[in-house]
Structure 1
Amino acid sequence: MGTSSEAAEESENSPHALRPHRLDDVSFGMLCSTGERLRATHALLDAEYSRRLLLLRVLVDEVTARPAAVGDLAPAREAWDLLARAQRQRPEAVHRLLMDPQTGLWAAHVLRRLRGSQDADAPLWSDVGQLHALAAAGAVLAGVDFRIQVPSRDGAVLLPCLGRAQSVAREPWGVAEVGAQNGTARVRPQGDGPVVTVPKDATQDGPGWTGMRRLSVSHHELTLTLTIDDLARYPVIAGTSGPDRLDATALRHWRRVLDRAWALLVEDHRESAEALAAGLFSLVPLPPAERFRPRSASASEAFGCVMLSAPHAQVTDDEAAVELAVTLVHEFRHTLLNGLMHLTPLADDCPDLFHAPWRDDPRPLSGVLHGAFAFSGVARFWRDRCARDSGSARERARFEFALWRRESRATLETLHAHPALTETGRRLVRALLADIRSWDAEPVPETTLLLAERAATHQRAAWRAHHLVPDEAAVRSVADSWLRGTPPPLAVTEETGGDVVTDPAGCRLDAYAHLVRLRITDPHAFAEAREGGPRPKDVISADLAYVAGDSDAAAALYAEETSRPAAWGGLGLLFGQPPELLRAVSQEITRTSGQTPPPSELARWLVHTWDDDGAHRGSGSMSQSARCSQSTA
């Protein structure tokens, strides 16, 4: 982000010397890896702290130039000066406050509002006034005597890193006074509401006070401490609602699974654990997700924060620990790359959309790069588990390693040659590729490699059926040939081109991989699903038959389910045809003739081969390219 020269100068009232920051070559080299390293993490943390200070100074300067932006609150400089007093008294506490992920989200949100690029329901002064709440929180943490007015929302005052004071007042946007004297802090609402005393241990609840709780887990002298941020005002993902407050039972569940996951990371993935202990600050809890499909997210402005779904209550402790551990590694790698991208661009603007094998939706170049960085680390995690686990856990680890090694490598090889990458982006991709290629000789059973290959191609085929729209002229030509009773046109032997048009209904396209995990981990549940029992969401009988190895049954069943685009993906995969072409041609024939062609018959016709002397040799297989053309939608 560009800053004014004033913002880059050190002020005697500044909490810190404001300065730009760069990564040294050693730290950058460590970051360009499938592993997580403590030195690289510390370097990014230093850079992020400098960036936060610059953001705050720019914000204060812009608000000072627009006095009306604070409403009836004190001028922004007074809040800044209070924060500076707190920093001089207890610098480590203010450092933690400024590095809190909510501080980053808030600062970015307010700057966008000040510059007119984002709207919000809250009055501008209420969002700007969180600077005053930040200063108040810093003063409380530092033990400074003070008094300052801060914004309230629905009668609640949120003090970052401390907690929330709730009065009986319920006005949507109000003002309260926060003050401290002799080590006791109080929140005094506007009007006649009761005064709320902040407990000495602010993480604890008290009358009118909801504490910002923390979970701390230790193993072999390495500790991870996470704020359980279920009071967040600024969402990690824009447009989503805030988390619900965890009850005591849910909090105990989180503590138990986090303790086991941390022990696993410390014992078996020590370097990663050291980096996570330094760079993870908060966890925004999400409700439990489907088995094998944990929900997680992170954001560029929330360095050190991870949104995570609670581990499924019905899985074993061992499975829950591994799932949580790999998800923490996955999201932490997103955090690391976000930190790097704050320092230097990795790619220029690119209009293209791409297939990303870990996502259901088409992704921009930067999103694919993010995923490749994260999942190369996921592949490394499962590689390590292959050597440490046994039984079905080892079989699962081998499958995950084979799948994500394959998918990360394929995606990185596509990115490697992309002209939009900057030199730094190319260095990153080259280094990741070198790591992954060094694993080529890692022994994985042939049956596992085959499962990984089928899982990858099945997801890709389902993605294409949902999101890729083939060239209209090619579709009409093929449909006309069918209606005339002639062989498919020669043009079908090549890729038919087309646009990516995002289909919001394209969800849970990882059905094959999901079922492989179920068959490995819980064969009884897989057998029950085949026999008509409970099955994972959006899994159909054809998917179960295909994973079970019955390709003939799978083809017949996919043909019965072609109201679902993903079924065309399975059908196209089994017949070696582009699924988007099959689907589009079927729709064109139906539109033109009023008769829907039998899907299997249409697929067999498309693989029709003339005799050896003829020019036509069939329709060719699906492309495995990860890149697709830009959508015009």
Structure 2
Amino acid sequence: MRTSSEAADRSESSAQLLPPHRLDDAALAMLCSAGEHLEATRALLDAEYSRRLLLLRLLVDEVSARPASVGPLAPAGEAWDLLARAQRRRPEAVHRLLMNPQTGLWAAHALRGLRGTEKSAAPLWADLGNLHALAAAGAVLAGLDFRILVPAHHGAVLLPCLGRAQVPAAGPWSTAEVSAHDGTACVRAEGEGPGVPVPADATRDAPGWSGMRRISARHDGLALHLGVDDLARYPVIAGAAVPGRLDEAELRNWRRAIDRAWALLVEDHRDSAEALAAGLFSLVPLPAAERFRPRSASASEAFGCVMVSAPGPGADEEEAAVELAVTLVHEFRHTLLNGLMHLTTLAEDCPDLFHAPWRDDPRPLSGVLHGAFAFSGVARFWRDRAARTEKSAAERARFEFALWRRESRATLEALRTHPALTGTGRRLVAGLLAGIRSWDTEPVPEHVLLLAERAAAHQRAGWRAHHVLPDEAMVRALADSWLDGADPTAAPDGGSVVTDPAGCRLDAFAHLVRLSITDPDGFAEARNGGPRPKDVTPADLAYVAGDLAEATALYATQTHRPASWGALALIAGGGQDGAAGRPEVLRAVSRAVTRRSGHTPPPAELAGWLGGARAAGRAHNGSGSTSQLTRSSQDTA
């Protein structure tokens, strides 16, 4: 097969390869922006294809040096030669196979398994044997005559980009034979029976065969083609369960949802749609999530794949189309940044953890950078929508634009001078900031700006209440002052970030704003004791409705919830998160006073008193380090 002559980095820890070539300056400039561009996407695709070839060549070389590692299968070189024959016959088909996101996930997993840095539920030979399945699939697509053994799991034989055959099982892991003659391919348990024919149209189900189905959407001359990864063997997120097979009704619903979202993207976000058409390859379907809280993910080794939840209940077709469209853009931007990070380092290792306003948990620097890149594009999406819709849809778009413009800019400003950023990392941050700053003059109604400000402050205060531990000496001094009836001492910076697993759904304020805009009757019903969103309390509803007295009284009865302290601090400070003291300090001082005196101070009174300490201290930036956080292996933010 044709490979780049560049050397490979054989690092045991990352299994990454050195870049096969560099992006030109124009492509890099397009990536350092809040938009998606076809030219930049194509440049990353070329680089990723070369990288896949290098990764496969490295894997074949290492397996060939350990011939026993493939167990009952043919030597790795024979599978590689078959794949090379297929490439000579049908290069476009093999290109599609190698760019399949499952190929990237498998190759990285197999190389780590071969080197002993990752455990697998499958025997090593079966993981490595996906190379043989890849070669078999390429040979079928190329119309070659061939015969090769591949792994079977409980009799299931997965041929990448084609489908899955079910043959008699000789045990949990066994071999099966894939062969083809005169254009007819067949899968059979080794030495047994007539086997399962591979249909001419492999996307269709047949006896013993589950096709790798596809969703195609066309609008105004632009098409999106997605494989439906409901047969995937390798999960996008390490440790997660692979999805189950969609039934026909679920598949029809997905096709309708993609059709509507694609028409919206092509009509109103054409540049984004052109980039997605070139660089988005597969969809991993997830069950429906809560309204306004879609679940989605991507991974660095699965270029062009997006995991996304089905449209949630309660949303009308237009709302569901917009939600799916923005989620596709969001995750595709993660794919783009992953592609760039395969070519160059954006940040050196950094032990600090940071507040990311789109996440409930503390994030490492690379995760915050990923999120800022993705959400700058989300802000751009909503900016465009605000100009193209009307009534409640326009109001929702203006709120989302105001919120994510604010949060992306604040995060990028904090990152701008971070010493761990490389030159390219600084260029990326500067480019994103320049785009967001150019939106400063965009007209947004004052009441919408206020809602966005309060939503941002509420999330940040809840995050701090859960994850920041204040300095103990400072807490003792403040407790002394309260018990002595004195003015509060200054509250200087200090403390550490420790991940609290209970800190989740901290976006309650923004979630309720969305509900109040798009479904005011539903908001009113929740306000009057009816069904309300998960983990939203009556205090949250009162706060969003503007009844601060009721909200304060209710939050004061919920001080077992850390986020309630954040809200109390905000209300005491007039909605400004910098005015009323840090909520983690408020919570800790209340506990200290209670322990020492046996009496719990009134939360609202303590929050107002502590506001005097805030004026004398500096704002904490939310960074710190802790050994209690396990960094995620994914770059999704």
After superposition, where does 1:81-480 map in structure 2 within 5 Å?
A: 81-169=81-169, 171-190=171-190, 192=192, 195-480=195-480
**Pairing partner for 1:534 from 531, 541, 547:** 531
Residue 623 of structure 2: aligned partner: 628
- What per-residue deviation string (whole Å, max 9, x for no partner) do you get for residues 325-347 of structure 1? 00000000000000000000000
1:588 aligned onto 2:587: no
Taking a change above 3 Å as real, the CA distance of residues 514 and 65 of structure 1, as seen in their structure-2 partners, is same
User: What's the CA shift for 1:185?
Assistant: 0.8
**Distance across 1 between alignment mates of 2:100 and 2:524:** 47
Give yes or no for contact 2:167–2:187 (8 Å, CA) kept in 1.
no
Residue 490 of structure 2: aligned partner: 491
**Distance across 2 between alignment mates of 1:90 and 1:142:** 5
**Distance across 1 between alignment mates of 2:19 and 2:567:** 55
**Pairing partner for 1:525 from 522, 534, 548:** 522
Q: Which structure 2 segments of 5+ residues have no match?
A: 10-17, 573-579, 629-637
User: What's the CA shift for 1:117?
Assistant: 1.2
- What per-residue deviation string (whole Å, max 9, x for no partner) do you get for residues 142-171 of structure 1? 111100000111111111001111123262
Residue 554 of structure 2: aligned partner: 557
**Distance across 2 between alignment mates of 1:313 and 1:532:** 20
- What per-residue deviation string (whole Å, max 9, x for no partner) do you get for residues 217-268 of structure 1? 0000100000010011000000000101111111111111110110010011
**Distance across 2 between alignment mates of 1:623 and 1:119:** 46
Give yes or no for contact 2:19–2:343 (8 Å, CA) kept in 1.
no
Higher mean alpha-carbon deviation, 539-548 vs 474-483, is at: 474-483
Give yes or no for contact 2:281–2:305 (8 Å, CA) kept in 1.
yes
Residue 613 of structure 1: aligned partner: none
**Distance across 1 between alignment mates of 2:40 and 2:434:** 19
Q: Residue 628 of structure 1 aligns to a residue in which SS?
A: coil
User: What's the CA shift for 1:600?
Assistant: 2.0
Give yes or no for contact 2:288–2:311 (8 Å, CA) kept in 1.
yes
After superposition, where does 1:502-517 map in structure 2 within 5 Å?
A: 502-517=499-514
What code does the residue aligned with 1:542 have?
A
Give yes or no for contact 1:311–1:320 (8 Å, CA) kept in 2.
yes
Higher mean alpha-carbon deviation, 47-56 vs 467-476, is at: 467-476
**Distance across 2 between alignment mates of 1:351 and 1:335:** 24
Give yes or no for contact 2:362–2:467 (8 Å, CA) kept in 1.
yes
Q: Residue 326 of structure 2 aligns to a residue in which SS?
A: helix
Q: Residue 312 of structure 1 aligns to a residue in which SS?
A: coil
Residue 566 of structure 2: aligned partner: 569
Residue 13 of structure 2: aligned partner: none
User: What's the CA shift for 1:621?
Assistant: 8.9
1:601 aligned onto 2:605: yes
Taking a change above 3 Å as real, the CA distance of residues 170 and 327 of structure 1, as seen in their structure-2 partners, is farther
Give yes or no for contact 1:167–1:194 (8 Å, CA) kept in 2.
no
What code does the residue aligned with 2:623 have?
C
What code does the residue aligned with 2:516 have?
R
Give yes or no for contact 1:169–1:193 (8 Å, CA) kept in 2.
no
User: What's the CA shift for 1:114?
Assistant: 1.5
Give yes or no for contact 1:4–1:58 (8 Å, CA) kept in 2.
no
**Distance across 2 between alignment mates of 1:475 and 1:628:** 19
User: What's the CA shift for 1:480?
Assistant: 2.7
- State percent identity of aligned pairs: 74
Give yes or no for contact 1:476–1:588 (8 Å, CA) kept in 2.
yes
Give yes or no for contact 1:227–1:281 (8 Å, CA) kept in 2.
yes
Give yes or no for contact 1:34–1:435 (8 Å, CA) kept in 2.
yes
Give yes or no for contact 1:82–1:135 (8 Å, CA) kept in 2.
yes
- What per-residue deviation string (whole Å, max 9, x for no partner) do you get for residues 496-517 of structure 1? x100000011110000000000
User: What's the CA shift for 1:314?
Assistant: 2.8
Give yes or no for contact 1:7–1:58 (8 Å, CA) kept in 2.
no
Taking a change above 3 Å as real, the CA distance of residues 624 and 526 of structure 1, as seen in their structure-2 partners, is farther
**Distance across 2 between alignment mates of 1:548 and 1:64:** 67
Taking a change above 3 Å as real, the CA distance of residues 88 and 624 of structure 1, as seen in their structure-2 partners, is farther
**Distance across 2 between alignment mates of 1:624 and 1:309:** 37
Give yes or no for contact 2:382–2:397 (8 Å, CA) kept in 1.
yes
User: What's the CA shift for 1:537?
Assistant: 0.7
Give yes or no for contact 1:414–1:625 (8 Å, CA) kept in 2.
no
User: What's the CA shift for 1:7?
Assistant: 6.1
User: What's the CA shift for 1:555?
Assistant: 1.2
User: What's the CA shift for 1:121?
Assistant: 1.5
**TM-score where L is the length of structure 2:** 0.93
Residue 582 of structure 2: aligned partner: 578
Q: Residue 585 of structure 1 aligns to a residue in which SS?
A: helix
User: What's the CA shift for 1:618?
Assistant: 4.2
**Distance across 2 between alignment mates of 1:474 and 1:305:** 48
Task: Calculate the aligned-residue CA RMSD, in Å.
Answer: 1.8
Residue 575 of structure 2: aligned partner: none
Residue 540 of structure 2: aligned partner: 543
**Distance across 2 between alignment mates of 1:622 and 1:408:** 25
Q: Which structure 1 segments of 5+ residues have no match?
A: 10-17, 608-616
Q: Residue 122 of structure 2 aligns to a residue in which SS?
A: coil
**Distance across 2 between alignment mates of 1:22 and 1:67:** 35
Taking a change above 3 Å as real, the CA distance of residues 86 and 5 of structure 1, as seen in their structure-2 partners, is closer
User: What's the CA shift for 1:624?
Assistant: 6.1
**Distance across 2 between alignment mates of 1:504 and 1:622:** 29
Give yes or no for contact 2:482–2:488 (8 Å, CA) kept in 1.
no
Alignment: residue pair count: 611
User: What's the CA shift for 1:45?
Assistant: 0.1
Taking a change above 3 Å as real, the CA distance of residues 373 and 625 of structure 1, as seen in their structure-2 partners, is farther
Give yes or no for contact 2:581–2:613 (8 Å, CA) kept in 1.
no
Larger RCO (CA under 8 A, 6+ residues apart) = 2
Residue 70 of structure 1: aligned partner: 70
Residue 36 of structure 2: aligned partner: 36
Higher mean alpha-carbon deviation, 547-556 vs 261-270, is at: 547-556
**Distance across 1 between alignment mates of 2:436 and 2:271:** 18
Q: Residue 490 of structure 1 aligns to a residue in which SS?
A: coil
Residue 481 of structure 1: aligned partner: 481
Residue 619 of structure 1: aligned partner: 614
User: What's the CA shift for 1:626?
Assistant: 4.7
Give yes or no for contact 1:7–1:57 (8 Å, CA) kept in 2.
no
Give yes or no for contact 2:291–2:313 (8 Å, CA) kept in 1.
no
Taking a change above 3 Å as real, the CA distance of residues 157 and 459 of structure 1, as seen in their structure-2 partners, is same
Give yes or no for contact 1:64–1:76 (8 Å, CA) kept in 2.
yes
Q: Residue 343 of structure 1 aligns to a residue in which SS?
A: coil
Taking a change above 3 Å as real, the CA distance of residues 469 and 488 of structure 1, as seen in their structure-2 partners, is farther
Give yes or no for contact 1:167–1:193 (8 Å, CA) kept in 2.
no
